[in-house]
Amino acid sequence: QQVKPFDYIIFGATGDLTMRKLLPAFYYRLSAGQVPHNARIIGTARSPLERSVYQDRARDALKRFVQPHDFHEDLVEQFLNMIHYVSLDGSKAESNWENLRSLLNESPQEQIRVFYFATAPNLYGAISENLHKEGLVTEESRVVLEKPIGIDLASADQINNEVGRFFKENNVFRIDHYLGKETVQDVIALRFANPALEAVWSAKYIQSVQITAAETVGVEGRAAYYDHSGALRDMVQNHLLQVLCLVAMEQPASLEADAVRDAKVKVLQSLRPMDETRLKNDTVRGQYTAGQSNGIAVPGYLQELGESSNTETYVALRAEIDNPRWNGVPFYIRTAKRLKQKVSEIVIRFKAPETSLFPQQPRSSLLVIRIQPDEGLSWSLETKNPLDDNFALQKATLDVNFSKAFDVRYPDAYERLLLDAVRGYPVLFIRRDEVEAAWRWVAPIMEAWANNEVPMTEYKAGSWGPKQAEEMLAARGDVWHEDM
Ligand code: BG6
């Protein structure tokens, strides 16, 4: 349903995220009737642009990132009318705040104010302070912080402290767009609305869990950011650990934000810390070399960058959770740029029977939760081969594609999250202690990699990653999903 009228003030409004994700997401929610006519989106960035020029850029963004059959001229016009632009350096007290103030003053007092920080995270504190000094932070104002929050625990603490001086914790919305993905939220529904599934959701029946976020793109125009970040900070510390939390958490007391976050943070705190041996055996980092991406020849990471670099574009890890439910179950996590296929998925590999009644050993049953693309579920089970009178087995797969089954468009994660911040509904955002626990767990990995205690491997663009990642699984008799 429609949210209350809002002013959404975006810092970093000329950036890639705003154009690619935020503006199209607002457009889709307007088209769904969820955005009231008197809502406004106020872009701010340093560039001195006329409002009309910014509106033209917004139109181009919609042209590029909205499906052609969803691009309706009258709706686009209505959308562009909601858009304003203020040239402002939010991190500078001496910048020209007057225009933003007078624009905000035009709105009635009850208009909900959301500040969205899509800038470098080290500016979040300064922007918050300036907003406060200018008297723009009302009691109910919310702030949305894009990830990554810092580059390690100390910088995350600092940013959270600085922002926390001017915004109450329950008005701070730390975004992790993976939580906005419908199929990620589905993990909660699947587990806790189906007791039959939850009954086998433990080390007793599960052999391993794989969480993959594979991308075919390279670092695109983002090398300046990415080379300081790398796949571990960019994807694992946040998105993949959040997915892991939902797969592994105990049933929360309710679907209230704190109940769900309490359950998630317990998982993060139960991750077994990486020690020296595990850092060597259970972490793999790599960089892509020249190869093919979707049939097109592409350069390697270092060629793209034009200099040497110790930044990984590939990560594979074996995580373990020290609690009675998960003792001994490996959680394999991997993510990378320039892999063979774009796919994010969770693969639950159930144990095969220890002894076999049949002429052959039954294979593991796999439950695959396809996060994207092709959102859906598949479950492979052993069945009897009808052409064999000796009980030979064959795999049968139950498969459902959600958008076909339910005949709906699967929305982009940002659509839901942007409006949840207006609603003041934080369950799909990250609490401060989660950010900290996640940084704490990745810290030894970051340190060992920075000190080159784990060698950098290479993989060809368009492949499934370095052979060392295959070996990591083979050492325990496991294989990655694509090889199963
Ligand atoms: C972002 C990362 O958070 O997630 C990007 O910064 C990455 O590097 C993106 O490409 C992946 O998101 P999605 O939704 O396409 O899986």
pLDDT per residue as tens digits for the range 210-258: 999 999 999 877 888 899 999 999 999 999 999 999 999 999 999 999 9
Closest ligand 1 atom to Cα of 412: 14
Residues with Cβ within 8 Å of residue 199, at least 6 apart in sequence: none
Its ipTM equals: 0.98
Active site residue 69: no
| Residue 99 φ/ψ, nearest 5 degrees | -65, -40
Using CB distances shorter than 6 Å, the residues near ligand 1 are 213, 215, 234, 344
* pLDDT on residue 154: 97
Closest ligand 1 atom to Cα of 234: 6
Residues with Cβ within 8 Å of residue 118, at least 6 apart in sequence: 10, 11, 12, 13, 15, 17, 18, 22, 146
* pLDDT on residue 1: 87
Find the 159 Cα to ligand 1 centroid distance in Å: 22
Find the 212 Cα to ligand 1 centroid distance in Å: 12
The widest CA-to-CA distance across the chain, in whole angstroms, is 84
Find the 461 Cα to ligand 1 centroid distance in Å: 18
Task: For ligand 1, atom 10, name the residue with the nearest CA.
Answer: 215
Closest ligand 1 atom to Cα of 413: 14
Q: What angle do CA 319, 321, 326 make, to 5 degrees?
A: 120
Residues of the chain with pLDDT under 50: none
* pLDDT on residue 59: 98
* pLDDT on residue 325: 98
* pLDDT on residue 370: 98
* pLDDT on residue 222: 81
Find the 109 Cα to ligand 1 centroid distance in Å: 36
Q: Determine if residue 177 is labeled as part of a ligand binding site.
A: yes
Three-state secondary structure call for residue 410: coil
Task: For ligand 1, atom 5, name the residue with the nearest CA.
Answer: 234
* pLDDT on residue 140: 87
Pocket probe mutation, ligand 1, options 16, 178, 236, 239, max atoms within 8 Å of Cβ:
239
Task: For ligand 1, atom 15, name the residue with the nearest CA.
Answer: 215
- Measured CA to CA, the distance from residue 51 to residue 40 in angstroms comes to 13
Task: For ligand 1, atom 14, name the residue with the nearest CA.
Answer: 178
Find the 163 Cα to ligand 1 centroid distance in Å: 24
Q: What is the value of pTM for the model shown? A: 0.96
* Whether the Cβ atoms of residue 314 and residue 336 lie closer than 8 Å to each other: yes
Pocket probe mutation, ligand 1, options 147, 235, 242, max atoms within 8 Å of Cβ:
235
* pLDDT on residue 481: 96
Find the 213 Cα to ligand 1 centroid distance in Å: 9
Q: Determine if residue 21 is labeled as part of a ligand binding site.
A: no
Pocket probe mutation, ligand 1, options 234, 288, 371, 412, max atoms within 8 Å of Cβ:
234
Alpha helices by DSSP H, listed for 41-165, are 51-65, 73-81, 98-105, 124-133, 153-164
Closest ligand 1 atom to Cα of 217: 10
For 235, the token pair is: 């994807």
* Whether the Cβ atoms of residue 315 and residue 231 lie closer than 8 Å to each other: yes
- Measured CA to CA, the distance from residue 473 to residue 274 in angstroms comes to 17
Q: Determine if residue 181 is labeled as part of a ligand binding site.
A: yes
* pLDDT on residue 224: 82
* pLDDT on residue 127: 98
